[in-house]
């Protein structure tokens, strides 16, 4: 049994009512032709990634109409009868090539850096989650990414073509942000992050957290999604207005309050490693929405409402070695998650497989 990392111990830290004060970064300013304006925004972005590993992005390239439409599709999908969703069932397997399709409540279970099968089995009982997800990779025909499990068009007409559009929009924003991050890091070749992610093997999770009693969440007996860090490079997280997402700032978990029109962006393990701990792959979780609890009429025996989120996980090409970027040799504040009592030199695919192996 390996030692439990720092991250794991913190996974049970308390939650604060005070929201995380991460900044809203204006995408248009990141692209501004005036160096002065760009510089201020770059500095804010860098500071936020050093502190939280998270930031809000406003004024970005994906229209709010399209985001709203994505959430409507998500609801339509999860509302389908079980027999239909079962046509694209995610197998009970943690192999990368099986990480596709509908994972019913109870199948997927997130834990943080626990690589021992017996321990994970125990955590499934002691820290259950309540969620359904639809997992998918690149929806376009390609030879790099394992094929998706796709519903026949008749079961949800229009969904498959929307998925392609959504994928393209997320990929475009991701690539643009990777280029910006290369500039913020002042890499000699600021396209390095994009080059390492040339193969379009990123991943989208559509998450649905069904309504449930609030008590197990407020008693800290259960989470909608357990505390974890993301595996990859830069994650784009679209959340609805329900709330409950929390980020760990090194002391405690703080609410990441939903802000309409923004996408939450966060650093994953690979980017933390590549920046040598300058940027943080932060623990985050989904707990009870604080907004609900502070209402005057809050009744502890009540339920929390359905919650939806859509997450685009940026992932480096499978064979890319995940190691410090040239120019990032100096250690940052955070000890990268990807340094441990395993072989330190790892490809993106090896890390992904290690993190995914016991999740399903």
The residue ranges that bind ligand AKG (CB under 6 A) are 205, 207, 225, 230, 237, 239, 245, 284, 286, 309, 311
Checking DSSP bridges between strand 24-26 and strand 54-58, what pairing results, if any? parallel
- Least distance from C-beta 232 to ligand AKG, angstroms? 10
**Per-residue contact flags (x/-) with Fe ion for residues 222 to 241, judged by CB under 5 A:** --------x-----------
User: Three-class SS of residue 293?
Assistant: helix
User: How far apart, in whole angstroms, are the C-alpha atoms of residue 289 and residue 257?
Assistant: 9
Q: Which does 205 bind (CB under 5 to 8 A by kind): Fe ion, ligand AKG, none?
A: ligand AKG
Residue whose beta carbon is closest to ligand AKG: 309
Measured from the CB of residue 310, what is the shortest distance to ligand AKG in angstroms? 9
Q: Which is nearer to ligand AKG, 245 or 292 (CB)?
A: 245
201's contact among ligand AKG, Fe ion, none, with CB below 5 to 8 A by partner kind, is none
Nearest distance in Å: CB 308, ligand AKG: 8
Kindly tell me which of 8 and 284 has the beta carbon lying closer to ligand AKG: 284
Least distance in Å: CB of 22 to ligand AKG?
Answer: 14
In this structure, the number of other CB atoms found within 10 A of the CB of residue 159 comes to 17
- Is the CB of 30 or the CB of 358 nearer to ligand AKG? 358
- The residue among 29 and 99 lying less far from ligand AKG, judged by its C-beta, is 99
Residue of 347, 337, 348 lying closest to 115 (CA atoms): 337
Q: Which is nearer to ligand AKG, 182 or 232 (CB)?
A: 232
CB of 207 to ligand AKG, least distance (A): 5
Residues in the chain: 360
- Least distance to Fe ion, CB of residue 253, Å: 13
Q: Where are the beta strands (DSSP E) in 158-282?
A: 203-209, 212-213, 225-228, 234-239, 245-248, 253-255, 263-267
Report the nearest approach of ligand AKG to the CB of residue 239 (Å).
5
Residue 225's binding partner among Fe ion, ligand AKG, none (Cβ under 5 to 8 angstroms by kind) is ligand AKG
Cβ closer to ligand AKG: 185 or 263? 263
Q: Which residues pair with 92 in a beta bridge?
A: none
Smaller CB separation from Fe ion, 230 or 240: 230
Partner whose footprint covers residue 196, from Fe ion, ligand AKG, none (CB < 5 to 8 Å by kind):
none
Q: Are 8 and 113 in contact (CB under 8 A)?
A: yes
Q: Pick between residue 266 and residue 276 the one whose CB is nearest to ligand AKG.
A: 266
Radius of gyration of the chain (CA): 19
Contact 356, 93 (CB under 8 A): no
Question: In this chain, which residue has its C-beta nearest to Fe ion?
Answer: 230
Residue 230: CB minimum distance to ligand AKG, A: 5
Q: What is the dihedral of CA 96, 100, 10, 258, to 10 degrees?
A: 140
Burial classification of residue 297, based on how many CB atoms lie within 10 Å of its CB (0-12 exposed, 13-18 middle, 19 or more buried)? exposed
- Compute the distance between CA of residue 258 and CA of residue 281 in angstroms, rounded to an integer: 20
Instruction: Give helix 159-184 / helix 64-79 axis angle, nearest 10°.
Output: 130
Q: What angle do CA 271, 354, 78 make, to 5 degrees?
A: 85
Q: How far apart are CA 184 and CA 204, in angstroms?
A: 26
Give me the residues that bind Fe ion (CB under 5 A), please.
230
């Amino acid at each position: 049994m390996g030692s439990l990392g720092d991250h794991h111990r913190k996974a049970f830290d308390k939650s604060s009512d005070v929201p995380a004060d991460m900044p809203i970064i204006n995408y248009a300013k990141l692209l501004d032709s005036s160096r002065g304006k760009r510089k201020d925004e770059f500095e804010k972005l860098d500071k936020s990634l050093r502190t939280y590993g998270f930031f809000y992005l406003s004024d970005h390239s994906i229209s709010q109409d399209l985001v709203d439409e994505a959430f409507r599709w998500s609801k339509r999908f999860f509302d389908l009868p079980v027999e239909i969703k079962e046509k694209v069932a995610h197998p009970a397997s943690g192999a990368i090539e099986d990480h596709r399709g509908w994972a019913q409540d109870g199948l997927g279970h997130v834990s943080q850096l626990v690589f021992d099968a017996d321990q994970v089995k125990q955590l499934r009982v002691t820290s259950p989650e309540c969620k359904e997800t639809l997992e998918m990779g690149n929806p376009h025909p390609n030879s790099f990414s394992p094929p998706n499990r796709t519903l026949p068009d008749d079961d949800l007409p229009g969904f498959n073509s929307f998925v392609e559009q959504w994928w393209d929009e997320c990929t475009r924003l991701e690539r643009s942000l990777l280029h910006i991050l290369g500039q913020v890091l002042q890499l000699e070749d600021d396209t390095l992050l994009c080059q390492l992610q040339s193969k379009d093997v990123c991943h989208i999770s559509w998450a649905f957290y069904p309504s449930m009693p609030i008590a197990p969440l407020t008693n800290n007996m259960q989470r909608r999604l357990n505390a974890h860090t993301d595996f990859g490079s830069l994650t784009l997280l679209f959340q609805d207005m329900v709330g409950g997402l929390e980020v760990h700032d090194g002391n405690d978990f703080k609410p990441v309050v939903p802000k309409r029109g923004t996408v939450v962006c966060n650093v994953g393990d690979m980017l933390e490693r590549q920046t040598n701990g300058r940027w943080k792959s932060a623990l985050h979780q989904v707990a009870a929405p604080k907004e609900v609890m502070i209402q005057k009429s809050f009744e502890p025996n009540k339920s929390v409402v359905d919650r939806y989120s859509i997450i685009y996980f940026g992932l480096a090409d499978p064979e890319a070695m995940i190691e410090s970027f040239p120019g990032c040799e100096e250690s940052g504040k955070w000890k990268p998650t990807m340094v441990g009592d395993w072989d330190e030199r790892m490809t993106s695919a090896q890390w992904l497989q290690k993190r995914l192996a016991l999740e399903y």
